[in-house]
A and B are shown apart, each in its own frame.
Chain A
Amino acid sequence: GAGVSQSPSNKVTEKGKDVELRCDPISGHTALYWYRQSLGQGLEFLIYFQGNSAPDKSGLPSDRFSAERTGGSVSTLTIQRTQQEDSAVYLCASAWDRATDTQYFGPGTRLTVL
């Protein structure tokens, strides 16, 4: 079946603009994760959804970051007032549930903030 998909694959934006990144998980996967991959910080965990709820948002880098998931499927990660340090590859992963722990990753969205 289809894997995790993310859109857009590349996004170039100006400092101060808002961006929305989208993730379509594997059908039937209840758990969804967002990560960020950057040269300086490596791979960082941002947030996790079980169904539509995110029990812990403390991994989000600042209050400019927010995420939501609707219908237990698609998720969007929104970054408001983007800064240059937000430039990174944003990865989404999904799993059948949190307990199985095998996460399947999407190809990522490369965000460049000018």
Chain B
Amino acid sequence: AQSVTQLDSQVPVFEEAPVELRCNYSSSVSVYLFWYVQYPNQGLQLLLKYLSGSTLVESINGFEAEFNKSQTSFHLRKPSVHISDTAEYFCAVKGGGADGLTFGKGTHLIIQP
């Protein structure tokens, strides 16, 4: 079985400042890792994913995440946030033959002007 821990339920940050949303996972087998974003009153959208290969993955809107196997982490970063990045961010893991995704509790990113 897998589990995902998102250490911060809320992260307030000023516009144009950098941000890091933390995600740690637990699994006894190799996993695939995902970040999903849920904008206000919208459905879940895939932001980025790690399946294999380069441990640094990027999204089209400037976010990046790095898979660190030794620390079992997949933290999400952006060097400069915008008001439009205000949303709930979910880290998820899948592996070991599991059918569905195991999600963390989510982190609410609040951008302050």
Measured CB to CB, the residues of A under 8 A from B are 33, 35, 42-48, 55-56, 59, 91, 93, 98, 101-108
When A42-B105, A43-B90, A101-B51 are in contact, do A106 and B99 touch as well, CB less than 8 Å? no
Contacts of A93 in B (CB 8 A): 44
Q: Which residue of B lies closest to A44 (CB)?
A: B103
Count how many chain B residues have C-beta atoms less than 8 Å from C-beta atoms of the other chain. Answer: 21
Listed from nearest, the 7 A-B pairs whose CB atoms lie closest are A45-B100, A48-B99, A43-B103, A105-B44, A107-B43, A42-B105, A105-B43
| B102 interfacial by beta-carbon distance below 8 Å | yes
Q: Does the CB pair B99–A91 fall under 8 Å?
A: no
14 contacts between A and B (CB under 8 A): A33-B99, A42-B103, A42-B105, A43-B101, A45-B100, A101-B51, A101-B94, A102-B49, A103-B101, A105-B36, A105-B45, A106-B43, A107-B42, A108-B43
* Chain B contact residues, CB within 8 Å of chain A: 32, 34, 36, 42-46, 49, 51, 90, 92, 94, 99-106
Determine the main DSSP class of B at the interface with A.
strand
Nearest CB on A from B35, distance (A): 12
Our count of residue pairs bridging A and B at CB distance below 8 angstroms stands at: 49
Closest to B44 in A: A105
A sample of 8 more A-B contacts (CB under 8 A), given A44-B103, A101-B94, is: A42-B104, A43-B90, A48-B100, A59-B100, A91-B44, A101-B49, A107-B42, A107-B43
In the assembled complex, how far is the CB of residue B95 from the closest CB belonging to chain A, in whole angstroms? 9
Contact of A102 among B46, B90, B104 (CB under 8 A): B46
Task: For A46, list chain B residues within 8 Å (CB).
Answer: 100
- The residues of B that contact A105 with a CB separation of less than 8 Å are 36, 43-45
